[in-house]
């Protein structure tokens, strides 16, 4: 436990998240990534540990699959989404901005080489949002999807009366741990929610000997 909490503390104080400091999570959608991360690629492979069936909408056929074999995950993104992937203080982070008219921002943070509980990953999600300038972060609900996946619904205040609604997928298997944040401003959240659900619902943890779960 102490080792895990220490790693989380290092993550929080390691510096500006993805090159931004005190910038609201949804504001990432107004400042598009300046670099392109690992190239999205089409993939029909079923290898890996996906979110269980029935927990998310199926991704449309015209979406791309973002795959990062080195970091051990893949998920669907709408075609034309801009991505920026980099490592900061030993932690791997990806941000992605869905094309207009959607206001959806995506962030994936990877923790490896240590075991984390779902509670610790949720704290990592909240502290990531705090680092981006979000305040008064509230956990509206937590749903256990499987022993490997949990979905948390979060609400936060981005300042100036801007409320952010976020869905956070917490995924862990052994020493591979992932926090995915997918959200949008409250006024557009309902319109964006189908896209948000398809993004987090397509997340798959890769591995040489993956634990099989039912495909959706």
User: How many domains in the chain?
Assistant: 1
Task: Give 108 or 51, the one with higher predicted confidence.
Answer: 108
Residue 211 lies in a domain: no
Cα torsion through 71, 75, 81, 83, rounded to 10: -10
Map residue 192 onto helix, strand or coil: helix
On whether the pTM is more than 0.85, the answer is no
Q: What is the pLDDT of residues 124-139, one digit of tens each?
A: 999 888 888 888 999 9
- Domain that residue 73 falls in: 2-205
- Round to whole Å and give the CA distance between 161 and 163: 6
Confidence class of residue 100 from pLDDT cuts 50, 70 and 90? confident
Residue 216 lies in a domain: no
The two tokens of residue 181 are 């944040």
For the chain, what is the mean pLDDT? 74
Residue 213 lies in a domain: no
Cis peptide bond upstream of 101, omega within 30: yes
Residue 214 lies in a domain: no
Cα torsion through 28, 59, 139, 104, rounded to 10: 20
The CATH number given to whatever domain includes residue 143 is: 3.40.1000.10
Residue 210 lies in a domain: no
Residue 215 lies in a domain: no
Torsion sign (Cα): 28, 124, 203, 152: negative
- Round to whole Å and give the CA distance between 75 and 67: 7
Residue 97 lies in a domain: yes
Residue 174 lies in a domain: yes
């Amino acid at each position: 436990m102490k080792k895990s909490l220490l790693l989380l503390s290092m993550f929080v104080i390691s510096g500006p998240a993805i090159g931004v400091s005190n910038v609201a999570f949804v504001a990432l959608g107004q400042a598009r990534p300046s670099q392109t991360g690992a190239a999205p690629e089409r993939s029909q492979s079923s290898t890996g540990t996906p979110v269980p069936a029935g927990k998310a909408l199926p991704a449309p056929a015209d979406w791309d699959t973002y795959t990062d074999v080195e970091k051990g995950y893949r998920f669907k993104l709408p075609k034309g989404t801009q991505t920026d992937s980099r490592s900061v203080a030993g932690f791997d982070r990806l941000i992605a901005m869905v094309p207009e008219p959607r206001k959806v921002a995506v962030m994936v943070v990877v923790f490896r080489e240590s075991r984390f509980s779902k509670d610790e990953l949720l704290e990592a999600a909240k502290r990531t949002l705090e680092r981006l300038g979000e305040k008064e972060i509230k956990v509206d609900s937590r749903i256990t999807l499987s022993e490997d996946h949990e979905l948390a619904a979060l609400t936060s205040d981005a300042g100036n009366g801007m409320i952010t609604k976020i869905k956070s997928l917490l995924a862990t298997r052994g020493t591979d741990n992932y926090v995915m944040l997918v959200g949008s401003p409250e006024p557009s959240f309902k319109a964006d929610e189908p896209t948000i659900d398809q993004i987090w619902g397509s997340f798959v943890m890769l591995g040489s000997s993956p634990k099989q779960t039912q495909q959706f």
